[in-house]
Chain A
Amino acid sequence: MSGTKTLFDKIWQNHLVEVQDDGTCLLYIDRHLVHEVTSPQAFEGLANAGRKVRRPDLTLAVPDHNVPTTDRTARIESEEGRIQVETLQKNCKDFGVPMFDLQDIRQGIVHIIGPEQGFTLPGTTTVCGDSHTATHGAFGSLAFGIGTSEVEHVLATQTLLQSPLKNMRVTVEGALPNGCTAKDLVLAIIGKIGTAGGTGYVIEYAGKAIRDLTMEGRMTVCNMTIEAGARAGLVAPDETTFNYLMGRPMSPKAGAWEQAVEFWKTLPSDEGAFYDKEVTLDVSEIVPQVTWGTSPEDVAPITGTVPMPTSFKVDGKPEAAQASLDYMGLTAGMAITDITIDVVFIGSCTNGRIEDMRAAAEVAKGRKVAEGVRALVVPGSGLVKEQAEQEGLDQILLEAGFEWRDPGCSMCLAMNDDRVEPGQRCASTSNRNFKGRQGFGGRTHLVSPEMAAAAAVTGHLTDVRDL
């Protein structure tokens, strides 16, 4: 097996600037995404030390976490949020960092805009001060989240000190059945390996079910890799990848394009390459997935029931499950479809792309949001929004009683004014169901966009296949 390499090995070795005596690697960073929450102290550090940004041309900034999703010109109500956005604007100006500002149609969630612009490319290293940077792994880019002092390190040096990671391959076989999406696939994986299952690893996703996914779907899967504890997720680039990237504003231009594709084709793992761990899953029999608890591993099929805490055999899990049920206000044994909901959120870097908008509109078409339910659709970027409007999706959703909003992180983490109120229950297409994630006291059920729209029109968690 010597001489054979995985996709991860190839990218890692391609980016080594230096290996120190203790094994720590100085890794070159090709793509750095920056947003307003985790960057202010990093820029401040640069300013205090009289340093500059080494490669502004490899850096792209966007405000997304704090931005209002109603009116682009509206003043950000929270003073702290407003200051963070203004600070980003000033820093980008001072340091010459390209930025998509609030009025720019290209503005959106940092992990949506990178791929959309062709900034994210196969074989690269991509970082951002944000754990869901894993999203970009869908393109065969080694992409992971970093802390504020590391953000400063990358800004100043375009490199990062890192220890090597282990390699895990998750092979997903079978064809996704009707009504099931990439979201259901990744929820099923997390349900199987748990939220610590990937700790210390980079996960490469392989197998027919992954190959069959669109780029949007692959991004959804890689996005939630972090919820399985792994630092990064990877999918080998193929024709689907190349077709998605061709002609994007920052993709290689004609001439360089052929050369790039030729190089990208050398990236997939070699036959017989070594993985530290292998997991296999067949998804041909799965049904739409829903979370019932406050950890993304608390997954159940929509056809199932809320589990008994005592049914878990892992140490500490029965107690954690009981605490989850108490917080979520659920009773063990009740049918998942009996869970009523107050809020629906369709958006986030997990499911805020055009396909997700289409999926939601498809279910919403000719139906009405149930009485008493508030349903928000928040496109992931200005360009997603524009395309959806060109396709008339906004009209379908508005007619059905959904709110159609401006792009941003929104109710994924409730840093702006979009919040789930205490005790309210939300069917959400985002990625984290932690206590209070969508607002203090809010209860989150993670689902696909189809399932979220289905819940919106019935008022309870619903098997979209039954509609």
Chain B
Amino acid sequence: MQKFDKLTGVAAPMNMINVDTDMIIPKNFLKTIKRSGLGKNLFDEMRFDREGNENPDFVLNKPAYREAKIIVAGDNFGCGSSREHAPWALLDFGIRCVISTSFADIFYNNCFKNGILPIKVTKEQLDDLMDDAERGANATLSIDLESQTIQGPDGGEVKFEVDEFRKHLLLNGLDDIGLTLQKVDKVDSFEERQNASQPWLAGVAKV
């Protein structure tokens, strides 16, 4: 997993509530063999018309936001199904952070598993950040996970909360697998013991 410590980038405003996982990545894109490559279909039904032409009014199609790294959105972001394809699609597009007043549980967890930082802020803070985001490329946001702060373009600062353990995982780029790999010594010694007591288990499958 890509680690997350500091991020500076354009924030795309999505001033709507209940952005669900079907909007993030419609279900006809789930029959894939990949986690990557979903970015081109992120928000597919909002971004493109039936013929596949870009909808010029959709925020991520506007010149200022095509390279956005952050999304600022209304309440209950990521509701709907448990599909991990939603964070996969965001990440593949280049979004590393979503700021909202609240998130759906599963989506919130899935973000951390995939190197995306979801930030919960108050209603007033969200309104300010939304205003900043509306100013496009002239108004980048800077996020510092270590100090748990968001810096606005005019020097304003927002403090946010994040679970200590999850923060640790993100800062160090550790997913479950990364964590287990830190215990590789224990796995090594387990294998040594097992190899001594049940030597017939190893080396069986061969190319």
Q: Interface on A for B, CB 8 Å cutoff?
A: 17-18, 26, 28, 30, 40-41, 44-45, 48-49, 51, 54-60, 80, 83-84, 87, 96-99, 118-119, 121, 123-124, 149, 152-153, 156-159, 161, 250-253, 256-257, 259-260, 263
> Are B33 and A83 touching (Cβ within 8 A)?
yes
Q: Which of chain A's residues have a CB closer than 8 A to the CB of B34?
A: 40-41, 44
Contact with A along B165-207 (1 / 0, CB 8 A): 0000000000011101101101100110010011111111111
Q: What distance in Å separates the Cβ of A460 from its nearest Cβ neighbour in chain B?
A: 38
Q: What distance in Å separates the Cβ of B201 from its nearest Cβ neighbour in chain A?
A: 6
> Are A26 and B205 touching (Cβ within 8 A)?
no
Instruction: Tell which of A40, A57, A80, A256 touches B200, judged by Cβ atoms closer than 8 Å.
Output: A256
A18-B183, A60-B205, A98-B205 given as contacts; is B198 within 8 A of A260 (CB)?
A: yes
Instruction: List 21 A-B pairs, Cβ < 8 Å.
Output: A17-B186, A17-B187, A41-B33, A45-B177, A48-B35, A56-B207, A57-B204, A83-B33, A84-B33, A96-B207, A98-B205, A149-B84, A153-B177, A153-B180, A156-B180, A157-B181, A157-B184, A250-B205, A259-B200, A260-B200, A263-B197
- Size of B's binding interface in residues, CB under 8 A: 31
Q: Which of chain A's residues have a CB closer than 8 A to the CB of B198?
A: 123, 260, 263
Q: What distance in Å separates the Cβ of B82 from its nearest Cβ neighbour in chain A?
A: 11
Instruction: Tell which of A60, A161, A256 touches B180, judged by Cβ atoms closer than 8 Å.
Output: A161
> Are B176 and A161 touching (Cβ within 8 A)?
yes
> Are A18 and B186 touching (Cβ within 8 A)?
yes
Q: Interface on B for A, CB 8 Å cutoff?
A: 1, 31, 33-36, 84, 113, 176-178, 180-181, 183-184, 186-187, 190-191, 194, 197-207
> Are A26 and B180 touching (Cβ within 8 A)?
yes
Q: Which of chain B's residues have a CB closer than 8 A to the CB of A55?
A: 202
Nearest residue, chain B, Cβ from A87: B33
Q: What distance in Å separates the Cβ of B203 from its nearest Cβ neighbour in chain A?
A: 5
Q: How far is the CA of A97 from the CA of B1 in the complex (A)?
A: 23
Q: Which of chain B's residues have a CB closer than 8 A to the CB of A149?
A: 84, 113, 176
Instruction: Tell which of B31, B36, B183 touches A80, judged by Cβ atoms closer than 8 Å.
Output: B31
> Are B204 and A58 touching (Cβ within 8 A)?
yes
Per CB-CB distance, the 3 closest pairs between chain A and chain B, nearest first, are: A252-B200, A40-B33, A98-B205
